[in-house]
Amino acid sequence: MTKWVYTFGAGKSEGDASLRNLLGGKGANLAEMSNLGLPVPPGFTLTTDVCTAYYDNDHRYPEELELQVKSALAQIEALTEKRFGDKHNPLLVSVRSGARASMPGMMDTVLNLGLNDETVAGLAKLSEDARFAYDSYRRFIQMYSDVVMGVDHHSFEEILEDAKLEKGVTLDTELDADDWKALVKDYLELTKRETGKDFPQNPIDQLWGAISAVFGSWMTKRAITYRRLHDIPGQWGTAVNIQSMVFGNMGEGSATGVAFTRDPSTGDKSYYGEFLINAQGEDVVAGIRTPQYLTKQAREMAGADDISMEEAMPKAFTELAAVFERLEAHYREMQDIEFTVENGTLWMLQTRTGKRTAKSALKIAVDMVDEGLINEDEALMRVEPQGLDQLLHPTLDPDAPRKVIARGLPASPGAASGEVVFNADEAENRAKMGHSVILVRTETSPEDIHGMHAAEGILTARGGMTSHAAVVARGMGRACVAGAGSVRISYEKAEFTTAGVTIKAGEIITIDGSSGEIMQGSVDTIQPELTGDFGTLMAWADKKRRMGVRANAEIPEDAKVARNFGAEGIGLCRTEHMFFDAKRILAVREMIVAKDENGRRKALGKLLPEQRKDFVELFHIMKGLPVTIRLLDPPLHEFLPHEDAEIEEVAKAANVTVETLKRRIAELEESNPMLGHRGCRLGITYPEIYEMQARAIFEAAANVAKETGEHVVPEIMIPLAATKAEIDFLKERIDGVAVAVMNETEVEMDYSIGTMIELPRAALQAGEIAQSAEFFSFGTNDLTQTTFGISRDDAARFLWIYQERGILDSDPFVTIDREGVGQLVRMGAERGRAVRANLKLGICGEHGGDPASIDFCEEVGLDYVSCSPFRVPIARLAAAQAVLKRGAD
């Protein structure tokens, strides 16, 4: 016979914590606590299998169920010495849902079940408190009518308000027993009127009604949507927990509360929580009365007057503290607890792993290792890598008031306040004068980089999570809110409007790059502080991980940040970012408008010493660590001006007519620049560009080698290759430059030439390409764009609809799409390695800093991930977790 019902209570249970899948989280932990001998009101759990059977059999319960419930109920009756439906000594129960994973959107709780017109009198007599009894009954009628019978709870609240109005009072507490008695009558009539049925008076009918309501709520639209969004199979089902009631509202000797075994905000090893005397759980949550502190110390630190539990109920508090210790030692995790004190007796109603802030997670993990509760591997798994971001960036003071005027994508974490400026030059100027500025642009381009660097934060009206603004801001560690669609910028008027508010240049706004919120005025922020715990955890992660972690960086400052965060090299140095300096851009433009190769070579000659200087500096900072340099990638039109005034200026500087320049601009215009004349296509059309860059790299390497005696091994990366022939064509030229520089400088050098794998064709042809390329770096930004056929700059308009309608689980530009893009990465890795066993494999798309994607990289066997400097710690931890997860498999 299948066992559908598991009892718990009085120090022994039929289930335990390991039966979470069968009993749900709440039921399993109630059973476990009961087994531990903790005071748990007796009860029983209907398993998740009942739910599955119920749906598989057309909403009918298994035959044996009724008998099993009856017998479990009898056991409660025996333990509590009360009887269900007994006029004199009635047993009351709570009915709660409890799925395997926490699931909002389902029926939560019915309390006080078992009350009816007769038992309420018994309860009044027994508790010697008629007011309490009738209050409990009306609460039950409202809850039950609402969640089981479908009567809108507002109707009950209206009746209550009318009653108070009539009596001329404002608080519920001002109503007496008779008032509640009268209200109970009104409530019962309301339910009858609304449903056409009498409110069930038979407790057994009540019980089955509540049970069916829980199972029914498993298939509501909200619950189904939630499951789809969180990838929870419908087959899991929910359990139902039926537990004898205990009352925190039976007078001054009673109380109810919630608690954490450690401070969930700071991680401090001190009890944390709140309680209310003479109250039921819902009162704590409702916020009508101010909850009191648990400990004397907490009360004193907060300067609060209301007495703490430690002071008010010393005996119950001591018991509770012992329970805390017991639970932490048992679960080896910080616990989140609900409890009730009924007439001086402590009862445990729930325990579960406590949610916590990143800061707290870090401290608790390291502390628990110190305390010998867990080992280092477990500690590594306890910290959410993504959360480390909070520790590295300023955050908004949660208590600070704010006026949110718009919302965009949380594109780069951190909060920042500053004066609104609308162009990069002004951002730089005002920053030099000591002002904090927020750069506001419709979208950013490489020309804006100096302004982005000078700004505290960046706000764009367009673009997605991997738009230029987002990528660069993350790289620099600047806060960024991108794609705030409601923000309309007028550069002419130097203002932007949103939701009816107009913000002019110079006015202060605050942006929160972690939430995407944009606020008017200045909102207080909290500066991050890195504790020793951070270093400790990172050291453990480094011991554990297999993959290397590099950074995407080219600006010396960013490279230094990356080194400080533990980057083991540079995985992507975007050379085009070096071309926007005021001095250089002129030479770049001169090259672009040149009539022929000679003209281009002349202009490139001016750039050579500048590029060389860049690389010298980078090689110095990276002290012999590998540096992967990507040759020029963006289409040339990105370097040309677009507004008339600027065009005139540039034409003059480049010594061509405005008409010539305009024609060249028109010639270079592209319908789809992402798929245009860029990447190695530039190198093949104008080999002299890549030759100049190769020369700058080799000369820099030779210089630094001579100067420091260190061995510099540049990795030269060819972007956007689709064929082996492209690599061969360019490799021949780069090798030629290498030989020339070695002869000129008389320095022997090692270097390698590899390619980005960022086009589907490159992944498909990886075997052929690996014959020529010595390393692959998966450029998963572009690979996602081409594999999906989605431009990251335009995706914001419809990707949210895709997520809302459940077509995509997550933004493929944030977390790698394993089924599609992932297949190509895997294919690229396997085919490449089959041809060249020691092929070095890395990833340098934004996914290199995303924990779920890093897990995938471990699975595929990449050698390293490369990400924004500020994501390096996240990547280090995620890489360690990826190893641990596989070890545990």
**Binding site residues, its own copies, CB under 8 A:** 670-677, 679, 681, 684-685, 720, 722-723, 725-726, 729, 758-761, 764-765, 768, 782, 785-791, 793-794, 797-798, 801-802, 805-808, 817, 819-821, 823-824
Q: How many CB atoms lie within 10 A of CB 825?
A: 31
Please say which residue, 670 or 750, places its beta carbon nearer to its own copies: 670
CB of 173: closest distance to its own copies in angstroms? 48
- Per the listing, tokens 């989140």 go with 336
Q: Which is nearer to its own copies, 333 or 782 (CB)?
A: 782
Distances (CA, A) of 500 to 46, 487, 491, 507: 54, 10, 18, 16
Q: Measured between alpha carbons, how far is residue 458 from residues 50, 364, 420, 424, 639 in Å?
A: 53, 34, 10, 10, 21
R_g over Cα of the chain = 33
Minimal distance, residue 792 CB to its own copies, in Å: 9
CB of 520 to its own copies, least distance (A): 23
User: Nearer Cβ to its own copies, position 58 or 659?
Assistant: 659
Extract the tokens encoding 877.
């931890």
* Calpha distance 22→692 (Å, rounded): 67
Least distance from its own copies to the Cβ atom of residue 701, Å: 28
Q: Choosing from 573, 844, 857, 867, which is the catalytic residue?
A: 844
Residue 811 CA to residue 800 CA, distance in Å, equals 8
> 817, 789, 842: which is closest to 552 by C-alpha?
842
Closest separation in Å from C-beta 851 to its own copies:
23
Q: How far is the CB of 669 from its own copies (least distance, A)?
A: 9
List the 517-520 sheet strands across, edge first.
403-407, 517-520, 508-512, 415-421, 437-441, 457-460, 479-482, 409-412
> Please, which residues bridge with residue 274 across strands?
258, 293
Query: In degrees rounded to 5, what are phi and psi of residue 603?
Result: -65, -40
598 by Cβ neighbours in 10 Å (0-12 / 13-18 / 19+) ranks as exposed
Q: Is 844 an annotated catalytic residue?
A: yes
Question: Any alpha helices (H) in 746-818, and if so which ranges?
Answer: 760-764, 766-770, 780-788, 796-804
Residues 651 and 645: their CA atoms lie apart, in Å, by 10
CA-closest candidate to residue 751, choices 761, 760, 742, 759: 742
Strand order in the sheet with 255-260: 292-293, 272-277, 255-260, 335-342, 345-353
Nearest distance, CB of residue 794 and its own copies, angstroms = 4
Spatial separation of the C-alpha atoms in residues 409 and 480, rounded to whole Å:
8
Q: If we measure between CA atoms, which residue out of 734, 723, 722, 719 comes closest to residue 687?
A: 734
| 69-79 burial: b if 16+ Cβ within 10 Å, else e | beebbebbbeb
User: Which of residues 617 and 859 has its CB atom nearest to its own copies in the complex?
Assistant: 859
C-alpha 206/C-alpha 137 separation (Å) is 13
CB of 698 to its own copies, least distance (A): 24
Q: Is 468 a catalytic residue?
A: yes
Active-site hit among 393, 468, 577, 637 = 468
Catalytic residues: 468, 844
